[in-house]
Amino acid sequence: MIKNINEKEIEKIVATNRKAKHDYHIIDSYEAGIVLKGTEVKSIRNGNVNLKDSYAITKNGEVFLLNMHVSPYNQGNIFNHEPMRDKKLLLNKKEIRKLLGKVEEKGMTLVPLKLYFKKGRVKVELALAKGKRVYDKREDIARRDFEREKLREWKGMF
């Protein structure tokens, strides 16, 4: 039996923040919509976006994404957007209150993990994270190396 998969239901990942999983312990993640201008959406569709140093803050009961760089659209002319503009995230009030309480704890922050299209709309996977210490990063690297060596030995046996 062949399933009829609608192309609009498939998630198309545009950008990921690989540095976030290296620098933070991910505690919880949320899916949020994002308020964008028309030329920003076209530029994101082309893949001209960078999440590297971006983070989210809460102001007046709203969540904003800062330092996300969206390059200007080539055919945008005078209607182009500012590349480092603060972008408002769309979350339920209940989720915002929950995030606000968690972020006020020591060392907690909101970082975007990935930017993707879902049913034709731009979505952000926002993570509640706690910063890693240097020794935590070293432990993660050592664990990864150990797993890689174990896999090599296992493949060599067969």
Per residue of the chain (158 residues), what is the pLDDT tens digit? 444 555 556 788 999 998 888 888 899 999 999 998 888 888 888 888 999 889 999 888 899 999 999 988 888 777 787 888 899 999 999 999 888 888 887 778 999 999 999 988 999 999 999 887 777 778 888 888 989 988 888 887 76
3-state secondary structure at position 68: coil
> For residue 156, is it within any domain?
no
Looking at residue 1, its pLDDT comes to 43
> For residue 138, is it within any domain?
no
Looking at residue 90, its pLDDT comes to 93
Looking at residue 35, its pLDDT comes to 92
> For residue 101, is it within any domain?
yes
Interior angle at CA 30, CA 52 and CA 36, nearest 5: 60
Which of 26, 35, 51 shows the shortest CA–CA distance to 136?
A: 26
Looking at residue 6, its pLDDT comes to 58
> For residue 47, is it within any domain?
yes
Strands 62-66 and 55-59 come out as antiparallel
> For residue 147, is it within any domain?
no
Measured CA to CA, the distance from residue 97 to residue 147 in angstroms comes to 39
State how many domains the chain has.
1
Looking at residue 85, its pLDDT comes to 86
> For residue 123, is it within any domain?
yes
Question: Which residue range forms the structural domain that includes residue 60?
Answer: 10-132
Which CATH number do you get for residue 22? 2.40.280.10
In b/e form, how buried is each residue of 28-37, taking b as 16+ CB within 10 angstroms?
Answer: eebebebebb
3-state secondary structure at position 132: coil
CB 57 within 8 A of CB 63: yes
